[in-house]
Amino acid sequence: MKNLSIRVKITMWFTLILVFITSCTYVIVFSVNRQLMQKTIRDELIRTVEDNVDEVEYYKNIGKIDPQEVDYYMAFRGGYLEIDDDFLDKVNEVYTSLYSEDVTLLYGENPISRQTADLEFADAKIQHLTVNDTLYYIFDRKLVLEGLEGLWLRGVVSENQGMTQMAAITQLLLLFLPLFVVLAVIGGYLFARRMLRPIQEISESAARIGDSGDLKERIELGGGNDELHQLAASFNEMFQRLEDAFETERQFTSDASHELRTPISVITAQCEMTLEETRSVEEYKLALRTIQRQGRKMSKLINDMLDFTRLEMRAESYTRESVDMTELVRSVCFDMALIKEKNITLKCDVQEGVRMQGNRQLLSRLLANLISNAYRYGRDDGCILVGLKLVGQGTELSVCDNGIGILPEEQTKIFRRFYQADNSHSGLGTGLGLSMAYEIAQFHGGEIRVESEPGKGSKFTVILKN
Ligand code: ADP
């Protein structure tokens, strides 16, 4: 059963239900029909006998009988019985016969006269008698004639009479119901196959994409907006996201190897050059300092890459708690003010009691990245202003400097990974600081933007949701 296709399973269920419904219909039709048939037979019997009641007359004397007369006359108890020619002794398989009180058949037909010989007359009542496995209905009427008593009309009809009609209906049902079931099953199977074809296409496309690994492929179902088209659209969206993720991953790996190649080349070149001949102590020291600087750069790059990857790929590993932002900003500013690079002054203007839900480590990192950039791209004797305040539904964190500024065309690019607008000032920069800040802002449901004027300075503003 498990290995059967959905198409076949649906058809099987459909067939079972149909056969069940058909059988029920058959049973219901059969029993209702039988009851109706029995009632019709009994009604017919009563009507025929009642119609015959007035067709029998008794005369003490009659004159000369007209030779044209077609009615039947018989001598009875010193008089005559006249049986009208309208007397129905056999109509629609209903037999009517005239009896005397001692159950002597006087006129008419009775197919079971022998068996009913002992059956007492019961006026206007239906009696049953089974003869040779056939059920007979018997209806008696006592005749009240002028001058004569003790005559009975007895009507007899067998149930077989109705059963022949029932058998015809049953045969029709037996022929047409299975035919109807077969037609419905074939129709249902074709319909299910047509309806489920898109699923087959989806599964084939998914298998093809899985085999070829080509995430650019999409499932094409043509026009429509039913559940299957929506499913295909969801698959396509998933492939798009996978493709984006792989592309990002590929780009990241290529950028990372590119960034690592520079310090490695510098170290290798420095070593080769220094080892070419015997050098003075000062020259060796110079070479070692270059190697040390490049080593630090590599180390920072690797750490930044690891942090960045963790935030991008496993953001859920960073927990959220209630963070006292006032205290956090003050503490980071206090630590970073100690840098005192280029004689830059760091000030902070912080609103009291600002709290938000977030990750303390990431928020410190965000602020530290922005402040290090402000130092790195700041001017000698310049200043940095860090601000924190509550705005609307969020918290606004800003870092403003009066450094070299950023060209307008660069301002949208600086948040990209490894993008460095100004190499001359980048020093130990890796090009990951702002993209990391961007990711951290996103993690907190916030955003980051820059306002800057070349030669005058830059202001980075982060809006974080509380
Ligand atoms: P980097 O490690 O090179 O600083 P970032 O991602 O932190 O990398 O910054 C990307 C680029 O944005 C920098 O190379 C620099 O050109 C520019 N930038 C960032 N902050 C500032 C700033 N405060 N003033 C001027 N330029 C900046």
Ligand 1 pocket, residues with Cβ under 6 angstroms: 373-374, 376-377, 401, 403-406, 414, 419-422, 426, 429-435, 458
Which has the closest alpha carbon to 110: 132, 131, 90?
Answer: 90
**pTM of the prediction?**
0.56
259 CA to middle of ligand 1, Å? Answer: 16
- Nearest atom within ligand 1 for CA of residue 430: 2
Q: Can you tell me the distance from the alpha carbon of 169 to that of 218, in angstroms, rounded to the nearest whole number?
A: 57
Phi and psi at residue 148, to the nearest 5°: -145, 135
The full DSSP string for 154-192 is: EEEEETHHHHHHHHHHHHHHHHHHHHHHHHHHHHHHHHH
Ligand 1 pocket test, pick from 298, 420, 461 with the greatest ligand atom count within 8 Å of Cβ, gives 420
| Amino acid of residue 129 | L
Q: Can you tell me the distance from the alpha carbon of 9 to that of 14, in angstroms, rounded to the nearest whole number?
A: 8
Q: Determine which residue's CA is closest to atom 19 belonging to ligand 1.
A: 373
CB 429 within 8 A of CB 357: no
Q: Determine which residue's CA is closest to atom 16 belonging to ligand 1.
A: 421
- Nearest atom within ligand 1 for CA of residue 435: 6
Phi-psi region of 124 (alpha: psi -120 to 50; beta: other; left: phi over 0): left
419 CA to middle of ligand 1, Å? Answer: 8
90 CA to middle of ligand 1, Å? Answer: 117
Ligand 1 pocket test, pick from 377, 398, 453 with the greatest ligand atom count within 8 Å of Cβ, gives 377
Q: In what side-by-side order are the strands of the sheet with 383-391?
A: 345-350, 383-391, 394-401, 457-465, 447-453
378 CA to middle of ligand 1, Å? Answer: 11
Q: Can you tell me the distance from the alpha carbon of 278 to that of 24, in angstroms, rounded to the nearest whole number?
A: 107
387 CA to middle of ligand 1, Å? Answer: 19
Q: Determine which residue's CA is closest to atom 17 belonging to ligand 1.
A: 421
Q: Can you tell me the distance from the alpha carbon of 7 to that of 4, in angstroms, rounded to the nearest whole number?
A: 8
Q: Can you tell me the distance from the alpha carbon of 466 to that of 187, in angstroms, rounded to the nearest whole number?
A: 60
Q: Determine which residue's CA is closest to atom 18 belonging to ligand 1.
A: 373
Burial classification of residue 406, based on how many CB atoms lie within 10 Å of its CB (0-12 exposed, 13-18 middle, 19 or more buried): buried
456 CA to middle of ligand 1, Å? Answer: 15
313 CA to middle of ligand 1, Å? Answer: 24
Please tell me the predicted confidence (pLDDT) of residue 66. Answer: 65
Q: Can you tell me the distance from the alpha carbon of 97 to that of 32, in angstroms, rounded to the nearest whole number?
A: 31
Q: Determine which residue's CA is closest to atom 7 belonging to ligand 1.
A: 433
Q: Determine which residue's CA is closest to atom 15 belonging to ligand 1.
A: 421
Q: What is the pLDDT along the chain (466 residues), one digit of tens a residue?
A: 667 777 888 888 888 998 899 889 888 888 888 888 889 899 999 999 999 998 988 888 776 666 666 688 888 888 888 888 888 888 888 999 999 988 889 999 899 989 998 899 999 999 999 998 889 999 999 998 877 888 999 999 998 866 777 778 778 888 888 898 899 889 988 888 888 888 888 888 888 888 887 878 888 877 777 888 888 888 889 888 888 888 888 888 888 888 889 889 999 999 999 999 999 999 999 999 999 999 998 998 898 888 888 887 777 888 999 999 999 999 999 999 988 788 999 999 999 999 999 999 999 999 999 999 999 999 999 999 999 999 988 999 999 999 999 999 999 999 998 888 876 666 667 889 999 999 999 999 999 999 999 999 999 999 998 7
Q: Determine which residue's CA is closest to atom 25 belonging to ligand 1.
A: 405
- Report how far apart, in Å, the C-alpha atoms of 50 and of each of 44, 46, 124, 154 are: 10, 6, 9, 10
Please tell me the predicted confidence (pLDDT) of residue 426. Answer: 64
437 CA to middle of ligand 1, Å? Answer: 11
427 CA to middle of ligand 1, Å? Answer: 11
Ligand 1 pocket test, pick from 422, 434, 449 with the greatest ligand atom count within 8 Å of Cβ, gives 434
- Report how far apart, in Å, the C-alpha atoms of 400 and of each of 202, 369, 437 are: 53, 13, 15
